[in-house]
Structures are given as structure tokens and as C-alpha cells.
Amino acid sequence: MTSWKEVFKSLRGWLVIVFCLSTLLMMVFYMPHFYREIIGPKKGFILNDPFLEIFSPMDWSLPIFSMLYLAVVQTVVTNIKKPEVLLLGLSAYCAINIFRMATMYIVTLEPPAGMILLADPISSIAYPDTGFAKDLFFSGHISTLVLLALADRNYIARALKIAGAVLMALLLAWQHVHYTIDLVAAPLVTYGIFLITRKVLGLTEMAGNQQKP
């Protein structure tokens, strides 16, 4: 199994680390400007979503972020000695966020009627207090949870994360944070980017020898 020592000795490992660090820095320092100055003023489409009309909007921010951060912590803690898992997951996460920026610009949507903004206690440190209403297509929260399931080698943890993604999608729709298309597209796009990232960044071999827990 690949060790962190071997990662730091390899050019491939450093390329992945540099890609991830530079993308994460871009997300922290540029994405607030992207949302506020580029996506915010851009006119978007309003979708007629009959599924959202089933729900009277309620704030489910606490259970949504509890599930998300619990999944992140579990993935990091249980795979801390498996750099091939963590680097694959982190590099795919970075690629997904770059792609989301493109899709949000190309397919700009106006917020669903009755939207209650998510209150994220962590991202609010970097992003404006008012939050963002138009970071819609596709759902970053669902993408992250699905990605954590794909990257995890533990089948039980993977199944729980997939179930959590389904529940989270329901709560996001209930809160009117996303249109149905945002929630449906997220796992499909995530799976495709996961496979592409693994191949393009040379992580196919690193993640190829997966074992049952």
C-alpha cells in the first residue's frame, strides 16, 4: 500500500498536492468574488419544479451540516494512513468545484421560491454573512457526500453515506435550497468526475488495489 512517505517522494504525489492546495486557495479567496460579482448580478432562469411544491420550506441546516461534517471526519480518520484514498477524494473534490463554477455560470438559475438559505458555521468564516442563493446547479453538498462514499473503502460506511445523500437531498428540497435537477445531476456528475480525475491525475493505480474492510 502506498504510504505518505512514498507520496512525498514521488512527482505524481507532489503534482496532486499542488493541484489540491492551489484549488483550495482559489476556493477560499476567489469563489466569494465569483459568487458575489459574477453569478450574483447574472440573470438566471426560474424553473417550475412541482416536486418542491410538495414541501412547505423548513430550515434543516443543522442536520444537513451534521451529516456532511460527520461524513468528512469519518472519512479522514479512517483513511488517514491511506493517502491513495484521501488524495483521490480531495483531488476529485477540487475538480468537482472547478466544474461547478463552470456549470453555475453556463446554467445560472434563480433561487427557488421560498428558499431558506443554509447556515453553514464553517464556510461562513470565508463567505459573506448573507450567504449565497444562486450556487445552484449542481448541488455541492450532495456531490461532496456522494464523493465521500465513492472514495471510502469500507462498504458499510459507503452505504451509510449513500443513504445520507438521499436523506440530505430530501432535506435540501424541503428547505427549497435546490431545484430537483440540481439534486439529481449532482451524483451523476460526481461519479463521472471521480472516474476521470482518478485517471487523469494518475491515481488509477493508487486506488486500484482496494480491499474489503
- pLDDT of amino acid 212: 43
Instruction: Note whether 74 and 133 are within 8 A (CB).
Output: no
Which of 35, 54, 26 lies closest to 117, judged by CA? 35
The arithmetic mean of pLDDT across residues 182-203, rounded, is 89
202, pLDDT greater than 50: yes
Domain boundaries, the chain: 4-26+50-126+138-200
For 155-173, write each residue's pLDDT tens digit. 899 999 999 999 999 999 9
The arithmetic mean of pLDDT across residues 80-90, rounded, is 90
The grid coordinates of residue 168 equal 440530505
CA distance 140 to 152: 18
SS3 content of the chain, % helix, strand, coil (to 5): 65, 0, 35
Res. 126 pLDDT band, cuts 50 70 90: low
